[in-house]
Chain A
Amino acid sequence: MYTKKKVVAMLLAGGQGSRLYALTKNVAKPAVPYGGKYRLIDFPLSNCTNSGIDTVGVLTQYQPLVLNEYIGNGQPWDLDKMNGGVHVLPPYESQAGASWYEGTANAIYQNMNFIRRYDPDYVVVLGGDHIYKMDYSKMVDFHVANNADCTISVIDVPLAEASRFGIMICDDKNQVTDFVEKPKEPKSTLASMGIYVFSWDKLEKYLIENENDANAKREKGEPWSKDFGKDIITSMLRDKQRLFAYEFEGYWKDVGTLDSLWEANMDLLSPSVPLDLYDKSWKIYSRSSYMPPQYIGDNAKVENSMIAEGSNVDGSVDFSVLFAGVTVEEGATVNYSIVMPGTVIKAGAVVEYAIVGSDCVIEGGAHIGKSPEQVDNRDDWGISVVGHNVTVSSGKSVEPKEIIGENI
């Protein structure tokens, strides 16, 4: 017995995050740690709860173990509901056979029965790899007020960056007239944030259409795809459906690359970045690690940093984000870096401009990363990355832009 829901959210969490590969070898991208105590998926899940959306399907495919365990019954996000709640939806085998998700649209297509159980009016489609706080209910209201078939959340980006995004071209009433994926010469600076509101009847129609078209093309040996931006949005525009752009103002960060993951963490330390993790009216929830408070020792020097519970700091930490249970021994230095849960930075080690994964050991005398000033040619500079469960021995160093996935 299911009762009707006005809105159901579908969260696309199958991404491999190949450009984050040192950190996504064994975990799906939405499970990548962020901001001292969060994982990326905490943001869309918390936004759902805070927006009053209590029915969420999470579509997983790549390395789902950590993500499934993390989501569990959804209790940390208040999504353990008798009717609704969060449901992890992996690919499955049916009488017609088993198939992996063949694109973002196909992932939703394969789970239409999940959506139909709740008979929703609107379906919100979300990604799991962006950092932002957003009230989806306002976007749904906007969708309803415009009598739209699909509403796409957009953010105004600098013209120079516009060619990295899917760009929406709109009329003066925000109605979308054209959509171009990564245009060489952008005609607008409104970038799609990968957040969609669909009227369910329309989405259902276009998902089925896309599925049939793509399968027919495949049989004929023609190129085919089953993606939201490329196929669903394009088909709806072709058919003169009502597509609207909902302009979002606020902090929004794509963490598709290791550099942007580092930047997104550093943003938390900047007073001018409008992402407040301490706002009680829009909390970002996460699964608790049940660790004692952090201890800052007699020899510590801690400035302009964010440090999570269970950490033990007796060294120097500046402009850094330390996750739960990190140890920084006396005489160790951590600057402009992100250190993920359980990692130990031993006395005499230096970590700067780096991301260090979880449960690593950085031995004394090891040196991870360099500041931009220490590099002769600025083009050679970039952050250094140490993957999860890696030991960096004494005397070893990890250079700028270098990515280490095995013990050295």
Chain B
Amino acid sequence: MSSVNYNVLGLIFASMHDSYVSELTKQRTMGSIPFGGRYRLIDFPLSNFVNSGVSEVGVITKSNYGSLLDHLGSGRDWDLARKKGGLHLLPPYSQTGGIYQGRLDALSNIWSFVEHSKAQHVILANCDVVTTIDFNPVLRQHIDTEADITLVYGKGAYDGEKNPSTTILEFNDDNTVRSVLVNPRVSGECNHWLEMLIISKDVLKKIVFDAASRNVCSFTREILQSRNNEYKIMGYEHKDFFVRIDGMDSYFAANMMLLDADKRTGLFKNNMPVFTKVGDNGPARYGLESNIKNSLIADGCVIEGTVENSVIFRGVKIGKDTVVKDSVIMQGTVIGNDCSITSVITDKNVEISDSKVLTGSATYPVYINKNGKI
């Protein structure tokens, strides 16, 4: 972990792309979606900033942010309850009235916060890309190449039919960006923009005020696509594991990816812990006839039955003779005895009484609402 870098300000868009996972964002926003057994999506960008020495972070909210505020509190669990810098929650109101439309509109609303910061560089990140990244090498490259904007990307499979929100980058030989394509109808290995970028505060200010005067709000369309020639835009390849959540199927698949040891070690690095709100649960407790295979299990669970190929969040109870397979069971869910649960996503605090059978399919898991009772 590096020492504190007061020259960088982190900004997280907590609500970008909420609509892609509308079931999960009914009562929350992208940043507070539970993920990986004990986390919320915002834990990843927040921990990335903290582990990179960025200790001044603004979180730009939009709607449904009650659960996000509850999760973040003062920022203490990320070591961001600070006098100098620290965590700042930025409310969503637009200067033009109503709630902001795009990234540029949002930035213009919160500009006084950015202006107030002593940092020269700003790193923007979303919550819908799950990855662990050290921003220090990105920053070094950004400064060394004298780029105006450095976009962080990762190489991976892409299918224009299935990845609705993906932005694909193409580069010239000198690693400057040639084209920025939103959801092109191609497939194969592509450069996925991880919706993270570094920009100097001065350039960002010019862009934001210029956009406000022209009443445009999309950073991707107006700047990366249309004004590509005005700015020196470079790419930085992030070679570690990343996954993007842009639908219920990819949310399910992303959780399941954590059952793969390589992907787990790519996300959970010894020197870059992923911080989250502390739950103060006891360790997981396994009963006399429990049988667990290939599963990720969080603290506070009490498991008496069988669990296979599943991700079980904090404080879940699974009764005797119950079989849970290929499922994502969110925190506080209680499943009774003698149930059969296959390819299911239960949201928080679901209750499933004895002897119930629920079966979805791997490509279309059954989703049960928060606090649902079956």
**Chain A bound to chain B:** yes
Show the binding face of A for B, using Cβ within 8 Å.
35-37, 75-76, 277-278, 283-286, 288, 290-298, 300-309, 321-322
Give min CB distance, A10 to chain B, whole Å: 25
Assess the B283–A292 pair: CB atoms within 8 A. Answer: no
In Å, the complex CA distance between A172 and B16 comes to 70
Set of chain B residues within 8 Å of A307, measured between Cβ atoms: 283-284, 286, 297
A-B CB contact pairs (8 Å), 9 listed: A76-B278, A293-B38, A294-B296, A296-B294, A300-B292, A301-B291, A303-B288, A303-B291, A305-B286
Q: Does B298 contact A (CB under 8 A)?
A: yes
Closest CB-CB distance, A331 to chain B, in whole Å?
16
Q: Which residues of chain B have C-beta atoms less than 8 A from A294's C-beta?
A: 284, 296-298
Among B27-60, those with CB < 8 Å from A are 36-38
Contact of B105 with A by CB under 8 A: no
Find out whether the CB atom of A293 lies under 8 angstroms from the CB atom of B297. Answer: yes
- Asked if B195 CB lies within 8 Å of chain A CBs, one says no
Question: CA of A342 to CA of B79 in the docked complex: distance in angstroms?
Answer: 24
Cα A321 to Cα B274 with chains together (Å): 24
Please determine whether A303 and B290 come into contact, CB atoms closer than 8 angstroms: yes
Say if the beta carbon of B268 comes within 8 Å of chain A: yes
Q: Bound state CA distance, A75 and B275, in angstroms?
A: 16
**Complex Cα spacing A23 to B75, Å:** 35
* Residues of B that sit less than 8 Å from A by CB: 36-38, 76, 259, 261, 264, 267-268, 273-276, 278, 280-300, 302, 307, 311-312, 315
Contacts of B284 in A (CB 8 A): 294, 306-308
Bound: A296/B283 CA distance, A: 14
Please measure, in the bound complex, the distance between the C-alpha atom of A75 and the C-alpha atom of B76, giving whole angstroms.
10
Selected from A35, A37, A303, the residue in CB contact (under 8 A) with B286 is: A303
**Alpha-carbon distance A76/B278, docked complex (angstroms):** 9
Task: Evaluate contact between B282 and A304: CB separation under 8 angstroms.
Answer: no
Q: Are A35 and B282 in contact (CB under 8 A)?
A: yes
User: Are A291 and B273 touching (Cβ within 8 A)?
Assistant: yes
Q: Report the minimum CB–CB distance from A146 to chain B (whole Å).
A: 34
Residue from B280, B288, B289 whose CB has the most chain A CB atoms within 10 Å: B280
Contact yes or no, A296 B298, CB < 8 A: no
Q: Nearest chain-B residue to A289 (Cβ)?
A: B273
B38 to chain A, nearest CB (A): 5
B117 to chain A, nearest CB (A): 27
Q: Does B300 contact A286, Cβ atoms closer than 8 Å?
A: no
Please indicate the chain A residues that have their CB under 8 angstroms from the CB of B261 in the complex.
295
CA distance A83 to B322 in the complex (A): 50
Q: Enumerate the 6 nearest inter-chain pairs by beta-carbon distance, A residue then B residue, closest first.
A: A36-B283, A277-B282, A293-B37, A308-B283, A293-B298, A290-B273
In the complex, A300 Cα to B259 Cα: how many Å?
Answer: 14
- The distance from the CB of A261 to the nearest CB of chain B, in whole angstroms, is 16
- Among B283, B294, B315, the residue within 8 A (CB) of A297 is B294
- List residues of chain B with CB within 8 A of the CB of A295: 259, 261, 264, 295-297
A36 touches B282 (CB 8 A): yes
**Cα-based distance from A302 to B37 in the complex (angstroms):** 19
Is there contact, CB below 8 Å, between A304 and B273?
no
List 15 additional A-B contacts (Cβ < 8 Å) besides A37-B282, A296-B292, A305-B285. A35-B283, A37-B283, A284-B280, A288-B278, A292-B38, A293-B37, A293-B312, A294-B298, A297-B294, A302-B286, A303-B286, A303-B291, A304-B286, A306-B285, A322-B283
Partner of B299, one of A37, A75, A300: A37
In the complex where A293-B38, A293-B298 touch, is A283 in contact with B280 (Cβ < 8 A)? yes
A300 to B38, CA, bound (A): 22
Which residues in B have their C-beta under 8 angstroms from that of A285?
Answer: 280
Nearest Cβ in chain A — how far from B213, in angstroms?
45
Residue in B276, B282, B294 whose beta carbon sits within 8 Å of that of A278 in the complex: B282
Which of A37, A283, A295, A305 has the largest count of B CB atoms less than 10 A from its CB? A295
Which of chain A's residues have a CB closer than 8 A to the CB of B76? 75
